[in-house]
Homo-oligomer: A and B are copies of this chain.
Amino acid sequence: MQHNAIQLPPLNALRAFEATARLSTLAAAAAELNVTPSAISHQIRTLEETLDIRLFRRANRRLSLTKDGRTLLPGLTDGFRRLTAAVAELEANQREGSLTISMLSTLAMRWFMPRLPRFQLEHPEIEIRISTTARTVDLEREDIDIAIRHGHGVWPSVHAEKLFQLETLPVCSPELPRPGTPLNSPHDIERHVLLHADARPDDWRMWLDGVGEPHIKASRELTFDTTDFALAAAIRGLGIAIADRHIIQDDLDSGRLIAPFETSISHDSGYYLVYPSKRASHPKSVAFREWLLREAAVG
């Protein structure tokens, strides 16, 4: 009926004995275990009674191990060392160890990855693992520590902190506007190819609504799985993509992309940093979140 053939005596009594035997005095053991010597004395007595074996010889005012006590000690010391090591490993892992972060691939590629080296410089002890998926992941089930999600900041059983508001605008290669096919006003779009992302099918429509030209129709359209591909296509001069300002900022800065029009559309949704309430206080999680919020504030 019982998996372990032998029934262990009370664990705390074993620990009290182990500490006392190792340190030779009740006082020292008591200090190690944060209790009074009296408590230790009671525990040892309990253990001796449970086992029905005398472990210490009480001579003068000093304790010395009996043969049985000497038999028992090393195994216990070793056992408790193991337990301590196991817990210590877990806690070290908590402080340092790896941090798994989930986000959509476009954000990972265009915004997160370029910034990541700065975090790794600040916290070389934290190993980052990036998990990119299209769907919204269950943080608990997938062992995700932190996620960046797009939405309105309301999800069940997680904490959410806003990184930035979504703000989309058209971009294209600097080579795209040519003398015959300029891009000076939204109307010029009609002579160009519009690049769409399946994941965000409404971005173009919302932008055109925003500039007051809902009826503009492009000469051709191209659709990709993700914004990431649409942007890659834009860089290669295949047409005009539309994406969030944060995501394209680096490409704009480097000149790979230009924003032919001033107008950007502010959405009511945004990118949120999301994490399970349970892991909110873990040092590596806190460090990462603070860093990410700083990065988001910069741009």
- Which A residues fall within an 8 A CB radius of B? 1-6, 8-9, 11-12, 14-15, 19, 23, 31-32, 34, 48, 51-54, 57, 59, 66-68, 71-72, 74-76, 78-91, 93-94, 140-141, 143, 276, 278-279, 281-282
Contacts and interface: CB of A to CB of B under 8 A. Distances in A.
Contact of A79 (B4, B34, B83, B93): B83
Nearest to A6: B88
A141 B283 CA distance: 53
In the complex, the count of this chain's copies comes to 2
Contacts of A76: 82-83, 86
From A9, A11, A12, name the one whose CB has the most chain B CB atoms within 10 angstroms: A11
Given A51-B87, A75-B83, 10 more contacts: A2-B34, A8-B80, A11-B83, A48-B278, A52-B281, A53-B282, A54-B279, A71-B90, A78-B82, A79-B86
A83 B32 contact: no
Contact of A90 (B5, B19, B53, B282): B53
From A59, A86, A143, name the one whose CB has the most chain B CB atoms within 10 angstroms: A86
A207 B143 CA distance: 91
A31 B83 CA distance: 22
Given A6-B84, A52-B278, A59 B141 contact: yes
A194 B150 CA distance: 112
A86 B84 CA distance: 17
Which 3 A-B pairs give the minimum distances between C-beta atoms? A75-B86, A79-B82, A79-B83
A42 to B, nearest CB: 17
From A8, A34, A83, name the one whose CB has the most chain B CB atoms within 10 angstroms: A83
A17 to B, nearest CB: 11
Contacts of A83: 8, 11, 14, 75-76, 79-80
21 contacts: A4-B84, A6-B88, A6-B91, A11-B15, A14-B87, A48-B278, A52-B279, A52-B282, A53-B279, A54-B279, A59-B141, A68-B90, A68-B93, A75-B83, A75-B86, A76-B83, A79-B80, A79-B83, A79-B85, A79-B86, A80-B83
